[in-house]
């Protein structure tokens, strides 16, 4: 049985944040039709791929999945469990926005089968939340985490964003301190990224917002790494930290180059060296599923060279590249070609190379994309 992760995209939102470039729509139209299309797509791929796979994680992302009624999520989850071999202890995550759930709704999501909550807090400062056009306030964010813990979720993750315009190091450290005071097991601190097509991008182009420079961003990032380490959170990927034993199974499936199946608008799947993408438009997705039982609009068969490049990149961005696994999958050539560069990175304290594993140091993580681009 091949370990496989499943992602389900729920595109519905009640508001579009200025920095968001994920496919999301602000409407209540077609919510029922979308669910029926999801169920049909799930059945289609289950017939093709369910017999030789065990599902280690299911992740409901968006959009804002927590906007949906718990019964809505339960029906999709029950379909997945009935058609795939889902492990009894599979990690089942629901992305949640403060302001969309109260204590009772969290109870109902837990009854539906959700065992991990990922809460998009982004900041504990009202001014920063207002700038990002988030719908919640700091008090609601804190209450959401506390309610999740109170009703029995023992695996709680939160997201925070750093290097917002005008954000001082003291403001960012205060966000981290407030996070550490909460009953969380996982935290994903992301640097603010300017994406084409977002409202924020237009604001920057129009001169209404000025972003802080890369050196300041790197300084905040290194502050994050050291602060979280001091509070018992281990870094296991560029933007992900956890208490021991609480690495995200779903995230690790991506970073350890495992297969994953994804359902819904704009989702991507990767199975047996083949990657495909679904249509983004909600109505186009529904129409395609009705006609074909799936909504794939493009497919790519990866070459061995592409898979090697992705394998190295994902491993290095997470908990390191195992030289044994690398050579078993792809041979010794990559290590031989890059040996001088690896030695140079080691000498400059950008990576460590010991025990059969090549890992970024905190200093290296801060410029990891630049380093990865220079490997041959």
Over residues 242-278, the pLDDT tens digits come to 999 999 999 999 999 999 999 999 999 999 999 999 9
pLDDT attached to residue 22: 60
Q: 264: closest CA among 280, 250, 275?
A: 280
133, 17 Cβ separation under 8 angstroms:
yes
> Looking at residues 200-211, what average pLDDT do you find?
68
The answer, as to whether pTM is greater than 0.85, is yes
Three-class DSSP labels, 38-72: HHHHHHHHHHHHCCCEEEEEEEEEECCHHHCCHHH
Residues contacting 203, CB < 8 A, separation 6+ = 18, 209
Query: How does the average pLDDT of the chain come out, rounded?
Result: 91
> Looking at residues 9-16, what average pLDDT do you find?
82
> Looking at residues 196-206, what average pLDDT do you find?
67
Cα 218 to Cα 33, 221, 365, 368: the distances in Å are: 45, 5, 9, 11
Distance between CA atoms of 225 and 243, rounded to whole angstroms?
Answer: 13
pLDDT attached to residue 200: 67
Confidence category of residue 133, pLDDT binned at 50, 70, 90: confident
Q: Is the pLDDT of residue 20 over 60?
A: no
What is the DSSP secondary-structure string of 209-236?
Answer: --PPPHHHHHHHHHHHHHHHHHTTPEEE
> Looking at residues 305-331, what average pLDDT do you find?
93
The fraction of the chain above a pLDDT of 90, given in percent, is 78
Q: Is the pLDDT of residue 153 over 60?
A: yes
Q: Show the domains of the chain with their CATH numbers.
A: 2-255 (3.20.20.70), 304-372 (1.10.10)
Q: Give the bridge partners for 190, in sequence order.
A: 161
Q: Give the bridge partners for 299, in sequence order.
A: 276
pLDDT attached to residue 294: 97
Q: 246: closest CA among 259, 258, 236, 260?
A: 236
Q: Is the pLDDT of residue 197 over 70?
A: no
Q: 355: closest CA among 309, 321, 308?
A: 321
């Amino acid at each position: 049985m091949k370990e496989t992760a499943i992602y389900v995209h729920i595109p519905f939102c009640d508001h579009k944040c200025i920095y968001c470039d994920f496919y999301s729509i602000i409407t209540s139209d077609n919510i029922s039709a979308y669910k029926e299309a999801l169920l049909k797509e799930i059945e289609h791929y289950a017939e093709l791929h369910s017999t030789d796979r065990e599902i280690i994680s299911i992740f409901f992302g968006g959009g804002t999945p927590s906007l949906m009624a718990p019964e809505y999520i339960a029906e999709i989850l029950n379909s997945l469990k009935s058609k795939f071999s889902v492990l009894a202890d599979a990690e089942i995550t629901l992305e949640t926005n403060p302001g969309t759930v109260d204590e009772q709704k969290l109870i109902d999501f837990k009854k539906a089968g959700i065992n991990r909550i990922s809460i998009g807090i982004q900041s504990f400062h009202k001014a920063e939340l207002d700038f990002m056009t988030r719908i919640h306030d700091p008090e609601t964010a804190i209450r959401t985490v506390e309610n999740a813990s109170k009703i029995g979720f023992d695996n709680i993750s939160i997201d925070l964003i750093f290097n917002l315009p005008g954000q001082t190091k003291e403001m960012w450290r205060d966000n981290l301190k407030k996070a550490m005071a909460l009953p969380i097991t996982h935290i994903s601190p992301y640097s603010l990224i300017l994406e084409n097509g977002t409202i924020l991008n237009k604001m920057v182009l129009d001169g209404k917002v000025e972003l802080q420079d890369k050196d300041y961003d790197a300084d905040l990032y290194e502050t994050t790494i050291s602060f979280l380490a001091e509070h018992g959170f281990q870094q296991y990927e560029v933007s992900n930290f956890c208490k021991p034993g609480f690495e995200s199974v779903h995230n690790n499936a991506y970073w350890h180059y495992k297969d994953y199946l994804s359902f819904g608008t704009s989702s991507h799947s990767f199975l047996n060296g083949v990657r495909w993408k679904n249509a983004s438009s909600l109505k186009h997705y529904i129409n395609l599923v009705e006609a074909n039982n799936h909504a794939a609009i493009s497919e790519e068969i990866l070459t061995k060279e592409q898979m090697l490049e992705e394998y190295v990149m994902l491993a290095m961005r997470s908990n390191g590249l195992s030289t044994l696994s690398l050579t078993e999958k792809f041979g010794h050539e990559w290590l031989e070609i890059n040996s001088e560069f690896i030695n140079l990175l080691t000498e400059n304290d950008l990576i460590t190379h010991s025990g059969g594993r090549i890992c970024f140091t905190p200093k290296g993580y801060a410029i990891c994309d630049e380093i990865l681009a220079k490997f041959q």
